[in-house]
Structure formats: structure tokens, C-alpha cells
Amino acid sequence: MAFAAGATNPLRDDDVARYEADGYLLLRKLFDEEETQLLQQIARADRRLQENVSDRVDASGQSMKLRVVGELSDDDIFSAIVRSRRVADTAERLLGEEVYHWHYKVIQKDAREGGAWEWHQDYGYWYNDACLKPTLLSCSIAIDRATRENGCLQVLRGSHHCGRVDHQQTGKQTGADPRRVAVMQEHFPLEYVELEPGDALFFHGNLMHRSDANRSEQPRWSLICCYNTRSNSPFTESRHPFYTPLERWADERVAELGRAQLAALRE
């Protein structure tokens, strides 16, 4: 499905039904060419992404870089995307309730270096952050082209209906119980989610997903915006925030802030 930039709530009822059935919804061209180019250039030029990254080592010993951000700012393109109506309003429609910012992260899978993500559910982690319900979702936005060769996301379509699966240490990552995953693979189709820059995948907190290591000459970076629902605010203090209203910004702010930020980075 292609997205008409500037539309506040473009989803049809059958889009929501597809998300509920499959556990994910793919929106092509969520961001236009200018916005995508700004995102690509800023991601590479912003030194904070290099200074505050952590490594995630897979079972084979390969590493992927990850930066997780909990606080939104008023002057960067990443925060503008999280607040944008085309993302936040879509998340709200899919979850059926007011959403707020959980965190965002920039995944950096560099050419020939970026490691794999083991099979996991996001709620497999967030359950331990005092969320009673799996009413959270992620929106993965392609900064670079995502292909099978450079380690695009893989999902088990419909697997979110299984509920939360226990997670355990796998290499230096936390992954889903491999015995349970093996059985799930017999029941749910494996889909490779190949994306062009600017495409976005919204997916349920219990959707089982993974990605291969990047064995290509092309990087695969992505921005992942994560949202929780108002009623699912943590019942006790955790690493993540309690509910706080999310200020929504017009979609045009993405390019406006992006231009200003890129100019500042080049000074």
C-alpha cells in the first residue's frame, strides 16, 4: 500500500484487519524522496549515533550497532518522524487507543559487518518493563534498501496470535525459546520483508521476527519508532517511560527540521 503524504489517517478498515490477522502492515513510500535522502544523510553525519551506540553480538560472534533513544528533542529528524501524524496516527489506528513514545532506535547493519538478530518478540523484552499487555507496536522505516542479501527483516506471519514466548540468552542476545520457535515455523509462513528507502513496516509486539547478518556490500540502516498505549503504562518504574502525552506534529515538519539539522551538521 502506498501512503499519501500529509494524510492524517489514511488506513482503511481492511488495512487494520490485515494487521490484526498478520501481525504487521507494510506501507510503501511512507516518506518521500527528499525526506528519505535527508534521513540517510543525517544518520551518517550525526556523530551522536556513533558515540552512543551499543553492540549486539549474535550467536556466530558478529556484531550489529544499535542506538536506543528514550527522550525526544525539538530539533532532529528522528524525533520529528516519531511525532509525525503519518506514523503516530497510524500506530494509534492499528492499536485502537491513544499511543505515546516508548523509544526509538537506529539499527546500523554495515556492509559485510552487521550481525544477525535472533528470533524474538519485542514484547518478549518489554514484558519485563512492567507492561501488562502486548499492546505495543514498532514501525521500522528503511533508511537504506533492505534485501535478503543485506539482512532484511524476516517475520512469521500471524505468529503474534501465539502470545508471548519465553526468551533466553542466545549468544550475547536475548532470543525466543528455540524449541517454541521451531514449532511456530511449522505453522506460520516465513516472509522476507524487503523494503525500499522510505518504506515502513508496522508490526505487533508479539510478532516473531529476526534478520540475517549483512553479507552484502550494501549497508542496511533503519529507524524503528516504538509506541505503547496509554492504558498499558508500566505498573511500576522501569527502563522505559510512564505514559505522557505525545505531541503530534504536521508531516511537513519532517523535511523542515531535516533541512535545518543537515545544514547545522555541515557547519
pLDDT attached to residue 171: 66
Is a pLDDT exceeding 60 seen at residue 107? yes
Domain that holds residue 61: 13-266
For the chain, the average pLDDT equals 92
Confidence of residue 5 (pLDDT cuts 50, 70, 90): very low
Return the SS3 of 102.
strand
The stretch 14-38 carries a mean pLDDT of 97
Residue 107 lies in a domain: yes
How far apart CA 24 and CA 22 sit, in angstroms, is 6
How far apart CA 159 and CA 179 sit, in angstroms, is 14
What are the tens digits of pLDDT across the range 121-137? 999 999 999 999 999 99
From residue 233, give the alpha-carbon distance in Å to each of 101, 103, 141.
11, 13, 25
pLDDT attached to residue 52: 77
What is the share, in percent, of the chain residues with pLDDT greater than 90?
81
What are the tens digits of pLDDT across the range 87-96? 999 999 999 9
Higher per-residue confidence, 49 vs 44: 44
Q: How far is CA 231 from the centre of its chain?
A: 21
213 neighbors 151 (Cβ within 8 angstroms): yes
Structural domain tally of the chain?
Answer: 1
Residue 3 lies in a domain: no
Is a pLDDT exceeding 60 seen at residue 8? no
Is a pLDDT exceeding 80 seen at residue 2? no
Q: Which three cell numbers stand for residue 177?
A: 525459546
Residue 117 lies in a domain: yes
Residue 5 lies in a domain: no
CATH (domain of 202): 2.60.120.620
Place of cell 529507524: 223
Confidence of residue 174 (pLDDT cuts 50, 70, 90): confident
Is a pLDDT exceeding 50 seen at residue 4? no
What's the Rg (C-alpha) of the chain? 17
DSSP secondary structure of 142-157:
ESS-B-TTTT-EEEET
Residue 199 lies in a domain: yes
Residue 6 lies in a domain: no
What are the tens digits of pLDDT across the range 218-257? 999 999 999 999 999 999 999 999 999 999 999 999 999 9
The stretch 97-112 carries a mean pLDDT of 95
Place of cell 527540521: 257
Residue 260 lies in a domain: yes
Residue 69 lies in a domain: yes
How far apart CA 131 and CA 144 sit, in angstroms, is 32
The stretch 172-178 carries a mean pLDDT of 85
